[in-house]
Structure 1
């Protein structure tokens, strides 16, 4: 496939990302250690940036590896960062690391998602949540946000649905603003149309004053959990850079006990 490159293509992208980051030409030029005049010439297409300049500006604009490649190609250069399938032999160490994190987090749920919130992998304990979701929502490629907020998903079982829905949509909206990804924007529009009123009441837990908990009712028991998100440090591959590991932790002793019991029951195959 041939790519037609013009000087204005990279300039338009640079200007778009600068405005998305709410930076003036002066602010970005200071960060990149270049003159405002030179930056203006790059944005208007009067000057062509060197490969090094593209990467320098991309770094100051805090662009993802995917967008850095796009900027390089717009300027007429070859992409720098590979995008390797997790199935490739060279990614075995990454797969092993992910599996180690997921297994080590048992008996608590943990999930790995890609940049579009599609399920990549999960541990056995995630069943405490997915068991409540309609099977069609879990068919590949399963989207964990859709499975969480869809009326046939986890939503009817979430006691603080309004609060949890607002939390997830806020995270997604920030991701859309930071990435400019049209697919994520479309997902945000879809999820925003789902019902969002609280489906019930629950006594506030101590952790609720610190983080937003996920509170679900399962088999007559109220479970309360909070999450943490981990990513790979200093990735050089697009696939790796876009993986996120979300781990659930019990917000009270009763939830911890139920999660341990549920995990043991699943392992026993009973």
Structure 2
């Protein structure tokens, strides 16, 4: 017989999130405009919060929509935010918007990922990266962090692997802290076990001439340099949309831009 760990009830779950955000009861109560007594009663289970109170506290804890739904369920209420498959008819406008962004970014690479860093979509120019990766790492579901840092992935081709690896792991660590997701924590542990051929800075500091952390890729006997931006839906009310991110890569120098333009003409 397999033992199961019971889910936290809403009060202890709220307390856990408050402590994870390093907030005292007084600070949390002030943010949510309620009394510390009321908050204490909610956290200890002496008072059952209304759905509105759960969502108010979740909002001031800056919780993802998925976690807000879990808190509502823990309090005995229905989830407030739908989670719709991206392929569903009602998501047609969102799919079109994503494809428009991807197509409009050509001839530069762009990729869409979910909250677990699984690749959802990409434009054709992403092959500048994926052509360097072992085929088994590109079998669905494709995890872009694993592809980036695995020794059979992009890692051997990254000239500044230590710097780029530290940047990606710092992003993942912040996400683990924000979401408290066990799957992301396991991914973080896996990636930190991969080898690196360069020093990893504890703090991201700019190198000579750098204004962002670049991705420097060895390519055809030379080096390409990229900077990236991340776009999300501005006002998502669906869990799926809230968890999508579009990372767009731009050339950081003219040589990289020229290589990408030439590839698009083939």
Range into which the TM-score falls when normalised by the shorter chain = over 0.9
User: Match of 2:101?
Assistant: 101
TM-score for both structures, normalised by structure 1: 0.92
| Cα distance between partner residues in 1 of 2:49 and 2:176 | 27
Matched, 1:136 2:157: no
Which deviates more from structure 2 when the two are superposed, residues 255-264 or residues 125-134? Answer: 255-264
Question: Distance between the aligned counterparts of 1:159 and 1:206, measured in 2?
Answer: 14
| Cα-to-partner distance string for 1:164-218 (whole Å, 9 max, x where unaligned) | 000000000000011000000000000000012239xxxxx98852111000111
Instruction: Report the counterpart of residue 127 of structure 1 in structure 2.
Output: 127
- Gaps of at least 5 residues in structure 1 are 200-204, 266-270
Distance 1:207 1:16 in 2: 42
Cα root mean square deviation, aligned: 1.7
| Equivalent in the alignment of 1:37 | 37
Give the aligned partner of residue 254 of structure 2.
Answer: 253
Matches within 5 A, 1:176-195: 176-195=176-195
Classify the secondary structure of the residue corresponding to 2:265.
helix
| Offset from partner CA, 1:91-144 (integer Å, 9 cap, x none) | 111110000000000000000000000000000000000000001101100000
SS at match of 2:247: strand
CA drift of 1:235 comes to 0.3
Output the CA distance in 2 between the equivalents of 1:71 and 1:206: 43
Indicate the SS of the match to 2:213: coil
Q: What is the deviation of 1:221? A: 2.2
Query: Is 1:229 aligned with 2:230?
Result: yes
Work out whether 1:59 is the aligned partner of 2:59. Answer: yes
- 1:168-207 matches, cutoff 5 A: 168-198=168-198
Size of the alignment, in residue pairs? 255
1:132 and 1:92 map into 2 onto residues whose CA distance is 33
Partner of 1:155: 155
Instruction: Report how far residue 263 of structure 1 moved.
Output: 1.6
- Displacement over 4 Å in runs of 4+: 205-208
1:224–1:255 contact (8 Å) kept in structure 2: yes
Q: CA deviation at 1:220?
A: 1.1
> Equivalent residue for 1:90?
90
**Counterpart position of 1:218:** 219
- Distance in 2, Cα, partners of 1:169 & 1:120: 21
For the Cα contact (< 8 Å) 1:151–1:195, is it kept in 2? yes
**TM-score normalised per structure 2:** 0.93
